[in-house]
Amino acid sequence: MEIYMAIRCLSRILNETEHNTRACLLTLMICLTAVAAAAAQSATLTGQVVDPQRQVVPGASVTVRSLDGTVVDQFVTGAAGEFQFTLAPGAYELVIDLSGFASERRAVSVDSDAVPEPMTIQLSIAGFDQEVLVSASMPDIAREIRLPGRELDERAEQDVGEYLRTQPGLSSVRRGPINLEPTIRGLQETQIAMFVDGTRTFSAGPARMDSDISHVSPRTIESVRVIKGPYALTWGAGTLSAMQVETFRPAFTSGAFQLNGRASMNYGGNGDRAEGAAGLWGASERARFSLFQSVRTGNDYEDGDGNVVPADYESFDTMWSAGGRVGERGLLEYTGGYQKQNDIDYPGRILDATLFETFSHAVETTWSPAGGLVREVHAQFYVNRKDHVMNNDEKPTALGNPNRVPPFGLRVDLPATSDTIGGSAHLSLGQGPTEWKVGVDFYSLDQSADRFVYRRRDDKLLFQDIVWPDATINDVGAYTQMVYRRGRGQVGAAVRIDALDASAGETSPFFDENTTGDVDQSEVNFSAALNATMQVNDLWNVSAGVGQAVRSATPLERYSDRFPSTKFQIAAEFMGNPSLTPERSVEFNVGTMAGNSRGSVEADFFYRQIDDYITVVPDPSLPKRLPLSPDTVYRYINGTTATFTGYELRGRVAATEYIDVQGFLGYVRAKDEFLDEPVFGIPPFEQRLSVRGHTASAEPWVELVVSHANEQDRVATSRLEVPTEGWTTIDLQAGFRLGEGATLRIGLENLTNNAYATHLNALNPFTRSRIFEPGRRGYLGLEYEF
């Protein structure tokens, strides 16, 4: 029945968006034409990367370059160390890189009249003949998207959430100038499990002025990994979809200690966004370290109509790491970080942020035995502490107004803490075509927040109330994952079980009288996923998967005492529900990819059904807490079902030796069956087209990007969500190498100075207008690396 419903929903949304997709489908047809033309005279090059003991090496980067240095294609070896390229006839050079190994280069020649023999490439260890100190973890059962950190540098991005908007199926919610909230295919907030270097963190405050991954400097990011769908069960609990930020680690060297560094400066007009960053790192055969520092600041900007949008902020980021080889095959590493953010404007919230202060520490160890059944043993322990304070100093509530109640100005202070302790351990096994991974993980989240309301003129305390009542979530999970490969096919499966306890400290008498169920709750949640991939021929593969994942209610959903919700368009008050049962998501995915080194096309379709969907209903029996709040108070409940259906299409083609064209489009349609209306916060049909010109060495380069979103008139009216007009923007950016180690980047965003807002941007709670994006903005970046 669910499969039938998925087919019906997919058919409907394809029909509804037919008139929107023609332009991008034309681009995809061009890509297919390029693929077909190249396929007529191409050959497939296959091989395997192994270590000195002839054990397979997963995760190695294999790059194909033409003899003039042009990058033709790239591949990351799978769990069996395998790689595969479909190449046009000619001479190439393969470059294989992986941290802990010396870089390996091989010359290859491809002839359309002969099938190349499979290659075996043996890597040598950087300085030690029998040490493999890299993570050999098997890949997750479904294909993940890996977004390189260098793209954040190219665009001089100051926020990872803003960068995610450039990718199909991904977007973000803007509530202020930075700390945007990522979304994946209509999933938001804790429906997405977010990690930083394997550690689990959570938002610092109940108003979600930050996301779980906000407190990482963009200049330290090596990559962002995204898994769409419930397939990251080995990462942690609650993975309806998942996202992981990985920060930079230097590679071990062969020989003497080597010191490197980088310094960069970025400036963006229309808001005076400035950034200075510096990093220093070093490595030898047995030890490595890194230290990064950055400062980001910004001011108010103007939208395309010249209206001023509050956007002040400053952020000070420090990150460090130190690690070394233990014995012949072990690695021990410590990472730490500190961030302080001050005076951040949040036009999409009733309060602004006085500060965020984040401390993080993690220790991990890895042992990779030589040969045998055991591939890897890994363990990690981490501590993350976040302090957060909110205020209303620059909000209308700080001013007196004789036409409201109360007529005098208020001063609001809202301090909050969000502290996490966690850890994980896993064992990777491999024998023949089958690989296993078994592991455990846990986290303990403690969140507390209190609101103090004063009369501003004399600082008289009018009242205080509990927002997060010393809420605690403890989760312990165990999982096993299997991947089986045979011929051109692969099947992967994973199962996971979690035991969760939720509790709270002192709650208000009003909360106790107006909620049912025990404050302390326990759950046992089961998740499972299955995915299969088949390489139909050298140019075409298909995949399909199904999985179930479980999301438990947040402390705000459980214990809120008439506090605003983050999934509502106005600052109404909401009552928590300790008895909320977890959301249970079942998702089907079908995908295909066709292509070679000259071009490719990808298509992904999904259908998701979330049972016990957590939603809200008005409760006329509840009085509001604040006199300035809307009269209606809402209550969190478990509804019935929410359904999500959508697709993404993506294509790329090397139009000439020096011009690359890429495009994507995506659409999500979702319905809250209980309220009989669309799900809140669903992006409209979106598409993006880019044309990049470059030299044979890929630098200098210049890129033109056109982005478009349709109007969104499918809105959650019961949550007072308002429609959004469609928009189109044009961006122009370029990069130039000025000399050895020096790079200049320039860009002009929103070239036509369009006044627009993305549908996921929050509403200003006082004007009820959506936060607009910046108008025309130029930026300049300079980087030097040694």
| 500, 583 Cβ separation under 8 angstroms | no
- Does the pLDDT of residue 16 top 70, yes or no? no
> pTM to 2 decimals?
0.86
Tokens of 405: 């109640």
511 sits in which H/E element: helix 509-514
221 or 91, greater pLDDT: 221
Alpha-carbon 25 to chain mean position? 27
> Does residue 420 fall inside a structural domain?
yes
Question: Residue by residue, what is the 3-state secondary structure of 95-107?
Answer: EEECCCECCEEEE
> Does residue 56 fall inside a structural domain?
no
> Does residue 2 fall inside a structural domain?
no
Q: In degrees rounded to 5, what are phi and psi of residue 160?
A: -65, -35
> Does residue 68 fall inside a structural domain?
no
Q: What percent of the chain has pLDDT above 70?
A: 90
Q: What is the pLDDT of residue 270?
A: 95
Beta carbons within 8 Å of 701's beta carbon, 6+ residues apart = 692, 693, 694, 695, 734, 735
Give the pLDDT confidence of 98-120 residue by residue, as tens digits.
755 667 888 888 876 677 788 88
> Does residue 609 fall inside a structural domain?
yes
> 3-state DSSP call for residue 22?
helix
- Angle, alpha carbons 58-498-581 (nearest 5°): 130
| 679, 650 Cβ separation under 8 angstroms | no
Q: Which domain holds residue 466?
A: 145-785
> Does residue 687 fall inside a structural domain?
yes
Alpha-carbon 178 to chain mean position? 15
DSSP string, 547-566: EEEEEPPPHHHHH-EEE--S
Give the pLDDT confidence of 707-759 residue by residue, as tens digits.
999 999 999 988 889 999 999 999 999 999 998 889 999 999 999 999 999 99
- Does the pLDDT of residue 635 top 50, yes or no? yes
How many other C-beta atoms can be found within 10 angstroms of the C-beta atom of residue 107? 9
Q: In degrees rounded to 5, what are phi and psi of residue 22?
A: -60, -40
Q: Cα–Cα distance between 432 and 438 in angstroms, integer? A: 17
**Poorest-confidence range of 34-38, 266-270, 542-546?**
34-38
The residue-averaged pLDDT of 228-233 equals 95
CATH code at 385?
2.40.170.20
Q: What is the pLDDT of residue 12?
A: 53
Q: In what order do the strands lie in the sheet with 187-188?
A: 170-173, 181-184, 187-188
Q: In terms of C-beta density within 10 A (0-12 exposed, 13-18 middle, 19 or more buried), how is residue 699 classed?
A: exposed
> Does residue 261 fall inside a structural domain?
yes
CA dihedral for 766, 767, 773, 776, sign (positive or negative): negative
**Poorest-confidence range of 42-46, 381-385, 466-470, 628-632?**
42-46
- Does the pLDDT of residue 148 top 90, yes or no? no
Q: What is the pLDDT confidence band of residue 123, given thresholds at 50, 70 and 90?
A: confident
Question: Residue by residue, what is the 3-state secondary structure of 219-265?
Answer: HHEEEEEEECCCCCCCCCCCCCEEEEEEECCCCCCCCCCEEEEEEEE
Q: In degrees rounded to 5, what are phi and psi of residue 138?
A: -65, 150
> Does residue 247 fall inside a structural domain?
yes
- Does the pLDDT of residue 585 top 80, yes or no? yes
User: In Å, what is the CA distance from 736 to each residue of 375, 616, 695, 697, 746?
Assistant: 43, 52, 11, 11, 9
Q: Cα–Cα distance between 565 and 559 in angstroms, integer? A: 12
Give the number of domains in the chain.
1
When mean pLDDT is compared over 29-38, 54-63, 479-488, 674-683, the highest value belongs to 674-683
Q: What is the pLDDT of residue 65?
A: 77
Q: What is the pLDDT of residue 37?
A: 46
Beta carbons within 8 Å of 598's beta carbon, 6+ residues apart = 34, 35, 37, 38, 88, 653, 654
642-670 residues labelled b (16+ CB within 10 A) or e (exposed): bbbbbbbbbbbbbbeeeebbbbbbbbbbb
Q: Cα–Cα distance between 648 and 601 in angstroms, integer? A: 11
The residue-averaged pLDDT of 538-567 equals 91
